[in-house]
Amino acid sequence: MTDATTTDALRDDAERCLRGLAGPAARLRDDQWTAIRALVVERRRALVVQRTGWGKSAVYFVATRLLRDRGAGPTVIVSPLLALMRNQIDAAERAGIRARTVNSANTDTWDAVFAEVEAGEVDVLLVSPERLNNPDFRDQVLPKLAAGAGLVVVDEAHCISDWGHDFRPDYRRLRTLLADLPPGIPVLATTATANARVTQDVAEQLSGARPTTPDTPPLATTNPPAAEAPTTDRPAAEAPTGPPAGASVAESASALASEGTLVLRGPLQRDSLHLSVVELPSADQRVAWLGEQLDALPGSGIVYTLTVAAAHEIAGYLRDRGYAVAAYSGQTDPDERLQAERDLLDNKLKALIATSALGMGFDKPDLGFIVHVGAPQSPVAYYQQIGRAGRGVDRAEVILLPGREDREIWAYFAGLAFPPEPVVRTTLDVLSAAGRPLSTSALEPMVDLGRSRLEMMLKVLDVDGAVHRVKGGWEATGRPWAYDRARYQRVAAEREREQRAMLDYIATTGCREEFLRRQLDDPSAAPCGRCDNCTGVHRPAEVSAEGAAGARDRLHRPGVDVQPRRMWPTGVKDDLGVSGRIPATDQAEEGRVLGRLTDIGWGNRLRALFADQAPDTDVSPDMFDAMVKVLAAWDWNTRPAAVVSVGSRRRPRLVGSLATRLAEIGRLPYLGELTPVGEPTPRRHNSAQRLRTVWGSLALSDELAAAIAQAGGPILLVDDRIDTGWTMTVATRLLRQAGAPAVLPLALAVPS
């Protein structure tokens, strides 16, 4: 039998498998077949960069079937989200491929799954990238899986690159995994959102070459990456039928080689998407516009927001108007998230009001619209999210409602970048001096970082070889490590360019899809003929007076509950003498604030009030009136007997005017303030460090202590904002120990 005959027979097998996945009319695109042949016949490493809905998952499922039929081991797929795993398992079953997953949600079935793998009963094993950093999994399970794998797949591969819009440190471990694979095991990486720089970086990591960091990105005239959510494809959503009409294979994909990695990159046009931008002057009007237009949007869809608070605010407003919607974020209970996904899939909901937590893990082919209330900070991230729509329908509406506050939210997320060198060096010194593994919670009190940033930094240091995660926590390796300041600065500069490009997208008078495709360095980018700028048909930017008033009332509804601290942070017992549960006799009651800094209602006013350069002024009349409404709606057990304020160095007029006016209107005695003492200290980022800075920073005078004891009832404790909650906790402890039977915290704002 000739090689050509063998190849033809293999392709026939591949086509049959594809029809099981995507239906009887499906046939392989030329570039799908190129990738499959490279994996199955040539046992190569390949990177496929193709648009959402192109059929990337078909490549690895068909390759899996062919490899398994020829005696190869199971395919190991590194997949980023549980919801995405569920979609992939469903797709695999349609083709007769037995798929299992190991992740944080099914630890009780791991042993059974591994037993099935050992017995050869599993064709595909999906693992989350976070598993790669679990010591038992990394050291005991993963080596055997990798050694026996027939194919290794890295889904959403742009996460490997810190130039990508959704870089994840756990993904960088894959470079070590791939370098240690036995010869002859093919590797496939897939993504829909990678510009030229990210493609180059990922291809080099796949091949084992040292990543390059050019000072300027290739090809792009304005620069991409940044944000928070990749994407997935399901071949059944759009039966692959070869290159688009009028496009040659050469035009539909560029096949490149990067140190042995085959790169297949195709055009990114999405013929079903109709893009538009509607600019409205305020958050009230944007939300009102959505409420008045949602009914007219086709089918069901997703409304993306930039913050969790905004998702809940908008969902509440739309429910008030009679829409079937649900809020969805990374903070939503996993069972509730799953139910919300199912309800949208079953068209029981008009929309999910979601943060980017829904970006990668949701696949609904007939999704009819995507609306963004607030612009993502990167055109690439935006293109990824809108790719959820229109995969199985002829037309899907994509609408962006940008806001003036978007840049402030972008600035907040920019503050979560890799920490400065002194903080990193302190962490390494602490681990080295410990002489034993330290858990994250044990390390946290000694490093000025919050938990999430500390964990992110440790993962990066682990990938770089400076620390190692072991049972019991983290330990220093003692290997030399250099702080790559220049690279971190270039990444930060790239993020700033992305934000400017997003503003350029909003303002452009040219084709919107072409603009986004050029951000992804798509050489075939051309006017789409469908967007608002191409057609000249722009959506009206008007809302009714009644609608605007309703949205304003909902968004400016004052009052957010604040739970008091119940436990002392770890690591402060030796110097502060406290640990474990805070005694009930020292705890505050549930508190209240006017709003969150991340709200799209009061949040805009509060962010301006607390801006670094904002002057210290008396509380404004409308803000004070709103605080009175917060008090009126507060269902306390016992009415407060007096008011005390937390002395402020930065905003004494604001806090003082708020406290005294509340006391006056409530006909309560104002007893005075807890006096700030000592030198001002820098703001700290984690609980232990923050508690240390505020522990002795407030003083209770004898006169105030006597007045509290004489008040004979709960104390309303007033401050300007509650950040970590430790200032209120320390202040409450002083008041309770002075004889206050209860303390009711009240402030203008919390962060989120």
Residue 274: which pLDDT band, with cuts at 50, 70 and 90?
very high
Tens of pLDDT along 401-458?
999 889 888 887 776 678 889 999 999 999 999 989 999 888 888 888 888 888 889 9
Identical fold between 3-193+230-242+261-265 and 556-750:
yes
The reported pLDDT for the residue numbered 357 is 83
Tens of pLDDT along 602-641?
988 999 999 888 999 999 999 999 999 999 999 888 999 9
Q: What is the mean pLDDT of the chain?
A: 86
Residue 170 CB contacts under 8 Å (≥ 6 apart), including other chains = 129, 130, 132, 133, 459
CA distance linking residue 224 with residue 232, whole number of Å:
20
Sign, Cα dihedral of 442, 448, 451, 454: negative
Q: Tell me the backbone φ, ψ of residue 720, rounded to 5 degrees.
A: -80, -40
The reported pLDDT for the residue numbered 527 is 97
Residue 78, classed as helix, strand or coil, is: strand
Residue 591, classed as helix, strand or coil, is: strand
- The DSSP bridge partners found for residue 304 are 354, 372
CA distance linking residue 697 with residue 296, whole number of Å:
57
Tens of pLDDT along 166-188?
777 778 778 878 888 888 899 99
**Alpha-helical segments (H) within 529-678:** 532-535, 545-555, 573-576, 602-609, 621-632, 652-665
Domain boundaries, the chain: 3-193+230-242+261-265, 273-411+511-553, 417-483, 556-750
The reported pLDDT for the residue numbered 1 is 47
Q: Check if CATH label 3.40.50.2300 holds for domain 3-193+230-242+261-265.
A: no
Residue 311 CB contacts under 8 Å (≥ 6 apart), including other chains = 305, 327, 328, 329, 353, 354, 355
Over 60: is that where the pLDDT of 531 sits? yes
The reported pLDDT for the residue numbered 361 is 56
pLDDT-wise least confident of 25-29, 420-424, 425-429, 679-683: 679-683
Residue 247: which pLDDT band, with cuts at 50, 70 and 90?
very low
Q: What distances in angstroms separate CA 518 from CA 166, 201, 231, 256, one per listed residue? A: 19, 18, 19, 19
Under CATH, to which class is 417-483 assigned? Answer: mainly alpha
Over 50: is that where the pLDDT of 222 sits? no
Give Cα 660 distance to the centre of its chain: 41
pLDDT-wise least confident of 120-129, 158-167, 390-399, 722-731: 158-167
Domain at 556-750: CATH code = 3.40.50
The reported pLDDT for the residue numbered 230 is 29
Over 50: is that where the pLDDT of 158 sits? yes
CA distance linking residue 694 with residue 677, whole number of Å:
10
Q: What distances in angstroms separate CA 370 from CA 159, 275, 290, 646, 691, one per listed residue? A: 23, 10, 12, 45, 43
397 or 87, which is more confident? 397
Domain spanning 273-411+511-553: which superfamily?
A: P-loop containing nucleotide triphosphate hydrolases (3.40.50.300)
- The DSSP bridge partners found for residue 328 are 354
Sign, Cα dihedral of 321, 327, 333, 335: positive
3-state helix, strand, coil in the chain (%, to 5): 45, 15, 40
Residue 135: which pLDDT band, with cuts at 50, 70 and 90?
confident
pLDDT-wise least confident of 29-38, 156-165, 378-387: 156-165
CA dihedral 87, 90, 93, 97 (to 10 degrees): 20
